[in-house]
Amino acid sequence: MDFHEYKPKETVSPQRIALRGQSLLASPRFNKGTAFTRSERASFGLEGRLPYAVNSLEEQCDRAWEQIQTRTTDISKNTFLQSLKEQNWALYYALLSRHLRALVPIIYTPTEADAIANYSHIFRRSEGLFLTLPNEDKMEELFLEATRGRDIDLFVVTDAEAILGIGDQGVGGIWISTAKSVIYSLIGGLDPNRSVSVVLDVGTNNEDLLNDPLYLGWRERRVRGDIYDRFVDKFVQLIRKHFPHSLLHFEDFGIDNAHRLLQKYRDTHAVFNDDIQGTGAVTLACILAAIRISSHSTEHKPRLSDQRFVVFGAGSAGMGITVQLRDAMVTTDGISRQEANKCFWLIDKEGLLIDGNGGSDVNMRLRSEFYRTDEGWNQRPSGIVTLLDVIHRVHPTVLIGTSTRAGAFTEEVVRAMVDGLEPDQRPIILPLSNPSRLSEARPEDILNWTEGRALVATGSPFGTVKVNIGGKEREFVIAECNNALIYPGLGFGAILSHSRCVTDTMLVAGANRLAELSPLLGEVGEGEAQNGAGILPDIDIAAGINFEVGIAVAEQAVREGSAAVDLRIEEVRAKAEAKVWVPIYSEYIYDETGMKD
């Protein structure tokens, strides 16, 4: 599935443009470069400003692809693409869409982390909105200046405290906001001119940045408490006041603030946190697909709450996944929160979480809901209940790894899990830590140890692996449990429906749609698994997948009354097709009163 099948070029209306000459060539939103037609060159004063030949967008992509291949490092490729984005949006996004698997790791994780860490040294051109604590009194003025004359669908904001596994990056965090905005346009179909990337510069505790004479941010230690809350709230209220139907995406906030801010605002505006909800939603989709396959021989339709989940790693990722799965059980299975909590066994560096007092921070309070109080857990001499101990006693159906402890899912652990299941039941094993060197187990090992029975997805790309089963070599596609398969669609659906808030039922609807598109389920019906296929679709078709996710989310918003626009369910798909943005050139007509950049 590709966006181009939803919106062919002939459906894109001509645009009336007021820019001419160099001003038009300098506008990344409108610039076509060598693709300006003969008539456009004459109308817009471009003759003599461009080489004679007229290229198609496809030819321009071929040239740009040749150019990027001459770059020898990922960071130099990242810099090249950033420069291309500053020149020509359509070409930039068209190039990315044609080489998605190769270039997403360059413009996003892992390469973007290196760019962010060196932001103040490789800075060339400003992009996004910088709201800094010393300018708090002028925040509304700065906000309105950046958004004047624009219809904004999406705000992506970070305070840069927890960037991509590299921690506090101060003002450099603006590039995680811009990268996330790019993914929304590239894979989610949102018009890049209708999104704003924001960094809330509230200082930094990164000593290297504080001591760097070239650091571009506010050179003070990170503020906390009431001052911080007042600053963030002022920003959120500006969005609610001026763009009440927009989506506010929180990105890479510290774990305490991430959970707290999501809970504070989720009932009053459409807010979303990818680190919590996106990670949880894509894992939920993976598990929904897997349990339908694993339990296809049972007489009743499998439920999430029928599963026994062991989560190895109770940090931010593990907790985000656990909470999302728990909330989905409450929503779909109709059980209480307390009942759903009992389906989970969480293990951290101190072993199984038992009889905790909850602590004072948000993460500890979240964890405390899942502490096991069952009699006998705390009777081991060492006081630590290991992963293997839990496997032997619980007989989990799902094992999730978010620990960054390479090799933690040993052969003994995996075989013990299989031994605890019914003969026709397939273990669901998700070593999600990334990068691949930190994965809890290699997928080919898991498949070898389980004789191909395991349903496996990973947090990093492993591609296709070969496994010898019963003396015969078989190939298995290892699904990547990648947020990009779902969060742009979740956002697109919320924006499409003008949702008042992003509800748990909307997230579950999106996850269910992604699960239905599992290659393992195939076209012949649930349970008729295609041997060797991945649990989730390939990242190469993420655009079409997210389009379907977005429709499911918008339909659910209409169904439950969360939508703030007059829309019938049967109208959602047509509206989505009209709304989706694709990187193609439209015809330009010169008009002095037309659009300006």
Measuring CA to CA, which residue among 197, 40, 187 is closest to residue 582?
187
Binding site as annotated, residues for a divalent metal cation: 251-252, 275
* 32 included as an active-site residue: no
* 294-300 contacts at long range (C-beta below 8 A, 24 or more positions apart): 294/397, 294/425, 294/426, 294/427, 294/428, 294/455, 295/425, 296/526, 296/527, 296/529, 297/424, 297/527
| 355 phi-psi bin (left φ>0, alpha ψ -120 to 50, beta other) | left
Residue 180, burial from CB neighbour count under 10 angstroms (0-12, 13-18, 19+): buried
175, 112 in Cβ contact below 8 A?
yes
- Cβ atoms of residues 235 and 202 within 8 Å: no
Q: Binding site, residues?
A: 251-252, 275, 434, 482
CB 188 within 8 A of CB 489: yes
Residue 78 is encoded by which pair of tokens? 């990242």
CB contact burial 59-70 (16+ within 10 A = b; e otherwise)? ebbeebeeebee
Among the listed residues 237, 166, 165, 177, the one whose alpha carbon sits nearest the alpha carbon of residue 201? 177
Q: Give Cβ neighbours of residue 115 (< 8 Å, ≥ 6 apart).
A: 75, 78, 79, 82, 122, 175
Are the C-beta atoms of 497 and 557 separated by less than 8 Å?
Answer: yes
Return the exposure string of 144-170: e unless at least 16 CB atoms fall within 10 Å of the residue's CB, then b: eeebeeeebbbbbbbbbbbbbeeebbb
Catalytic residue among 92, 108, 487, 588: 108
Catalytic-labelled residue, pool 180, 215, 487, 588 = 180
Query: Is 490:272 a contact under the CB 8 Å cutoff?
Result: yes
* Structural contact between residues 346 and 370, judged by C-beta atoms closer than 8 angstroms: yes
423/526 Cα distance (integer angstroms): 20
Q: Strands across the sheet with 247-250, in order?
A: 129-132, 195-201, 154-158, 247-250, 271-273
Residue 240: C-alpha distances to residues 56, 233, 235, 270 (Å):
42, 10, 9, 9
Q: In 3D, which of 425, 390, 394 has the Cα closest to residue 409?
A: 390
The reply to whether 215 belongs to the active site is no
| Strands across the sheet containing 309-312 | 351-352, 344-348, 309-312, 398-401, 428-431, 455-458, 479-480
**Binding-site residues for (S)-malate, please?**
434, 482
**CB of 514 within 8 A of CB of 487?**
no
Q: Find the helix or strand (DSSP H, E) in which 309 lies.
A: strand 309-312
Show which residues are catalytic: 108, 180
